Amino acid sequence: MQAFKVGKLVTFVAIIILLVVAILSPYNLFKKIYFIIGVLIIGAISLVQINSLN
């Protein structure tokens, strides 16, 4: 049970780091938006998979 909590925490931290990288990236606005949406989709999928294992 503790491993799932750690997995969620690691996933949240990874999502936050990728969002910060996306915001600070030198790309134009549309590429930033696509990158942020992609990170959020991947994060949502990984969190759903972690929750389904519980």
Q: Tokens 């994060």 belong to which residue?
A: 43
C-alpha distances (whole Å) from 25 to each of 21, 33, 37 are 6, 11, 14
Structural domain containing residue 42: 2-53
Amino acid 3 reads A
- pTM for this prediction: 0.67
User: Would you state the pLDDT for residue 11?
Assistant: 79
Largest pairwise CA distance in the chain? 42
At 53, the pLDDT band (50, 70, 90 cuts) reads low
Our count of domains for the chain comes to 1
User: Would you state the pLDDT for residue 54?
Assistant: 60
At 4, the pLDDT band (50, 70, 90 cuts) reads low
